[in-house]
């Protein structure tokens, strides 16, 4: 991938509180990410992340998925609203919708997700509780390119946390969130600088193929 000229145009999709969105807003403002967020889109009208975007002077849109008859119809409208701003990068930041292949295929190498587990372990929901139930010693978070497979695209960067015997899903989620706020801006800065690419289904950093689990942040 070539370096994105000047400042990368970013669209962020959210469904909830938007703490990851906030970390990205902050990183754009400080120029750690050479980019600017053009638009924040939520599928839920009351997502607090929309308020965070407004506070930062970023344009917001809500596309309420409950108003659509099918996943295809929702994704088609989402695509239309995203393409209006011709983004270089599309960021899923706590966006809790499964996207169709028709949607995902528009953004090969430009679409990122953050998932609160050490993928390929625990795709899907309730990741922290499942890790605790399995008596895992480590939990964590993965930033990955999005492909049509749910939580299945190649990993770029992971951060790990220790799971203590006293942890419950809430305390583990809080620990992992601290790491999320570090690694998502980091990966976005790399993508904006043209250092990351997706080639034949594999993630590359500075022209070198990344291992399956991506970089480990340790």
- Which positions lie near ligand GAR, rule CB under 6 A? 14, 16-20, 49, 93-94, 114-116, 177, 180
CB of 157 to ligand GAR, least distance (A): 13
CB of 19 to ligand GAR, least distance (A): 3
CB of 64 to ligand GAR, least distance (A): 17
Is the CB of 14 or the CB of 161 nearer to ligand GAR? Answer: 14
Concatenating the DSSP letter of every residue in 82-140 gives HHTT--SEEEESS---PPPHHHHGGGTTTEEEEESS-TTSS-SS-HHHHHHHTT-SEEE
Residue 215 near residue 186, CB atoms below 8 Å:
no
Residue 74 CA to residue 150 CA, distance in Å, equals 17
Is the CB of 3 or the CB of 170 nearer to ligand GAR? Answer: 170
CB of 118 to ligand GAR, least distance (A): 12
CB of 51 to ligand GAR, least distance (A): 12
Taken in order 87, 90, 91, 94, the sign of the CA dihedral is positive
Is the CB of 16 or the CB of 35 nearer to ligand GAR? Answer: 16
Is the CB of 16 or the CB of 204 nearer to ligand GAR? Answer: 16
C-alpha distances in angstroms, 64 versus 36, 42, 68, 111, 172? Answer: 25, 8, 8, 21, 30
Residue 45 near residue 126, CB atoms below 8 Å:
no
Is the CB of 180 or the CB of 213 nearer to ligand GAR? Answer: 180
**Which of the following is catalytic: 115, 128, 144, 181?**
115
Catalytic residue flag (residue 115): yes
Beta strand segments in the chain, E: 8-14, 35-42, 59-62, 89-92, 111-115, 138-145, 155-162, 196-199, 202-205, 208-209, 215-216
196-199 sheet: strands from edge to edge: 196-199, 202-205, 208-209
Residues taking part in catalysis: 115
């Amino acid at each position: 991938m070539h370096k994105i000229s000047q400042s990368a145009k970013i669209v962020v999709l959210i469904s909830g509180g938007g703490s990851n969105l906030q970390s990205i807003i902050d990183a754009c403002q400080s120029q750690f990410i050479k980019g600017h967020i053009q638009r924040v889109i939520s599928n839920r009208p009351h997502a607090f992340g929309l308020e965070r975007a407004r506070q930062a002077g970023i344009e917001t849109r809500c596309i309420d998925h409950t108003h659509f008859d099918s996943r295809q119809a929702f994704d088609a409208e989402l695509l239309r609203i995203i393409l209006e701003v011709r983004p270089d990068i599309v960021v899923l930041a706590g966006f809790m919708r499964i996207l169709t292949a028709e949607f995902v295929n528009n953004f090969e190498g430009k679409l990122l997700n953050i998932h609160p587990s050490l993928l390929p372990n625990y795709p899907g929901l309730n990741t922290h509780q499942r890790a605790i139930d399995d008596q895992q010693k480590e939990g964590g978070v993965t930033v990955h390119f999005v492909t049509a497979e749910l939580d299945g695209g190649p990993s770029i960067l992971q951060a790990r946390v220790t799971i203590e015997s006293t942890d419950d899903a809430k305390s583990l989620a809080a620990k992992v969130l601290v790491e999320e706020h570090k690694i998502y801006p980091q990966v976005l800065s790399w993508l904006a600088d043209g250092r990351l690419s997706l080639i034949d289904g594999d993630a590359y950093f500075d022209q070198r193929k990344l291992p399956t689990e991506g970089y480990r942040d340790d």
